[in-house]
Amino acid sequence: MKMGTPEVRTILAIFVLVILLVAGCSQGEQVQLISPDYRNWNQTTDTVLDFTIPGHGSGLRKIYISSAASGVTTQEVNGRLFYDYPQGTQIVKEVYASAQPGADEEPAMLTVMIKDRDHPMQRGGWIWLVKNYQSEVETILDEEFCFTCHNNANEPNPYNDGNTSGQFRDFVFYPYR
């Protein structure tokens, strides 16, 4: 199937709807963890992310990363580079309903990673959560979906620079720059 076909768009729309519904269910832990000043942080890429990415749909995405990420460390083990983001690092991805939102349009949701190795719901050292931008409800996701997909950032993949050398990027597709 081609990416632009109605079937693929329908599948992606259903997928995004499922993520939104899961985020709104009471199974996850409702919290208030996202820093309200995230838009003052650096963005992780200058690339306009207006193409389809599994799990985030085809709407425009903007990714912000907290200043704590500047303390990211790297270590080489057996020729492979390993990234380790500091505790408290936040990565906030604004997800818009369309690839070309209006100038005053707010995101439909935020998908967020917060580095917290000690949190009981962490996966891979990160808390994975979604915030409904309209209701302002933040929900920690307690299933493996986000973690499993972001594990692909730790090997060659079709995003950003492709991670052709297979660095362990600590589950981050667009690392701190």
DSSP the chain: --TTSHHHHHHHHHHHHHHHHHHHSTTSEEE--S-TTGGGSEES-SS-B-S-BTTTBSS-EEEEE-GGGGG-EEEEETTEEEEEPPTT-EEEEEE-SSSS--TTPPPSEEEEEEE-TTSTT-BTTEEEEEEETTT--EEE--SSHHHHHHGGGGS--SSTTTTTT--B-TT-SS---
The model's confidence at residue 14, banded by pLDDT at 50, 70 and 90, is very low
Q: Write down the CATH superfamily of domain 6-154.
A: Cytochrome P460 (3.50.70.20)
> Where residue 83 falls among pLDDT bands split at 50, 70, 90?
very high
Residue-level pLDDT at 30: 60
pLDDT in tens, 100-140: 999 999 999 999 999 999 999 999 999 999 999 889 899 99
Which tens digits make up the pLDDT trace of 17-75?
A: 444 444 444 345 566 899 999 999 999 988 888 888 777 778 999 999 999 999 999 99
Per-residue model confidence (pLDDT) at position 4: 52
Residue 22 pLDDT: 45
> Which residue has better confidence, 64 or 11?
64
